[in-house]
């Protein structure tokens, strides 16, 4: 079973320079959990966290789960969403055709498929946690910085001219600010429902 050992509430959020409202970091989970070493001067609790369980936190704080072993985005997306597609993230859109619903707009539980780029040649996948507005969603994903960690509740903004979720910017939880790069999106893959047959 894949497990993680540390949840960090984005210690760098205190240094953010953007006006995007992000809540302050939450306190430790409980007093009966052993304290973890300080990271960036912030001590946090060190609970064991199953990546296939629902996130135990309900606030909007972007968080990092430091894993005992490297977790790739495709592994995490499969476990979290139940979508059984294998191979590089850039192939998920084509592989989903005929098996899963493919949509241009996000909905909770769907897998967001990032297209391949020069900097991200294998693409990327993330699970939509919730839809905030027509231009903002929150995602859970892994290995965003090629570090094998899990990023929970990360804001993503649609920056496409047509508001069609074809181009996005992703919150950089590690540095506490909105990322400067834009990423092309192929779409959102989810389970078929009776209405989609």
> How many other C-beta atoms lie within 10 A of the C-beta of residue 179?
17
Q: Please identify which residue in the block is written with the tokens 């476990």.
A: 79
Q: What's the rounded mean pLDDT across residues 144-168?
A: 96
For residue 194, pLDDT over 70 is answered with no
pLDDT at 72 > cutoff 60: yes
Quote the percentage of the chain above a pLDDT of 70.
Answer: 68
| Residue 129 pLDDT | 97
pTM, entire model: 0.71
Model pLDDT, residue 57: 52
Q: What is the pLDDT of residue 58?
A: 56
What pLDDT score was predicted for residue 188? 98
Q: Which residue has the higher pLDDT, 71 or 67?
A: 71
**Model confidence pLDDT, tens digit, residues 30-67:** 323 333 344 344 433 333 344 444 555 556 899 999 98
pLDDT of residue 18: 37
The CATH number that applies at residue 13 is: 3.90.1720.10
Looking at the 3D structure of the chain, how many domains does it have?
Answer: 1
Mean pLDDT of the chain: 78
Q: How confident is the model at residue 68 (pLDDT cuts 50, 70, 90)?
A: confident
Determine the 3-state secondary structure of 31 from DSSP: coil
| 25, burial (CB in 10 Å: exposed 0-12, middle 13-18, buried 19+) | middle
pLDDT confidence band for 193 (50 / 70 / 90): confident
| Residue 104 half-sphere exposure toward CB, CA atoms < 13 A | 7
The mean pLDDT of 86-115, rounded to a whole number, is 97
Looking at residue 39, its pLDDT comes to 39
Confidence at 1, pLDDT banded by 50, 70, 90 = very low
2/129 Cα distance (integer angstroms): 20
Range with the poorest average pLDDT among 57-71, 79-93, 104-118: 57-71
Its domain, for residue 82, covers: 3-196
């Amino acid at each position: 079973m894949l497990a993680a050992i540390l949840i960090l509430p984005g210690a760098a959020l205190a240094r953010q320079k953007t006006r995007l409202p992000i809540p302050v970091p939450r306190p430790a989970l409980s007093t009966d959990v052993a304290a973890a070493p300080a990271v960036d001067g912030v001590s946090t609790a060190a609970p064991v966290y199953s990546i296939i369980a629902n996130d135990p936190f309900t606030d909007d704080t972007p968080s990092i789960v430091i894993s005992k072993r490297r977790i790739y985005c495709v592994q995490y997306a499969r476990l979290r969403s139940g979508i059984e597609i294998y191979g590089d993230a850039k192939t998920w859109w084509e592989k989903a055709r005929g098996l899963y619903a493919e949509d241009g707009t996000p909905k909770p539980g769907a897998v967001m498929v990032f297209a391949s780029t020069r900097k991200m040649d294998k693409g990327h996948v993330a699970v939509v946690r919730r839809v905030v507005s027509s231009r903002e969603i929150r995602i859970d994903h892994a290995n965003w910085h090629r570090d094998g960690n899990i990023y929970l509740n990360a804001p993503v903004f649609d920056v496409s001219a047509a508001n069609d979720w074809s181009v996005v910017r992703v919150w950089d939880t590690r540095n506490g600010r909105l990322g400067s790069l834009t990423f092309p999106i192929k779409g959102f893959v989810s389970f078929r429902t009776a209405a989609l047959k």
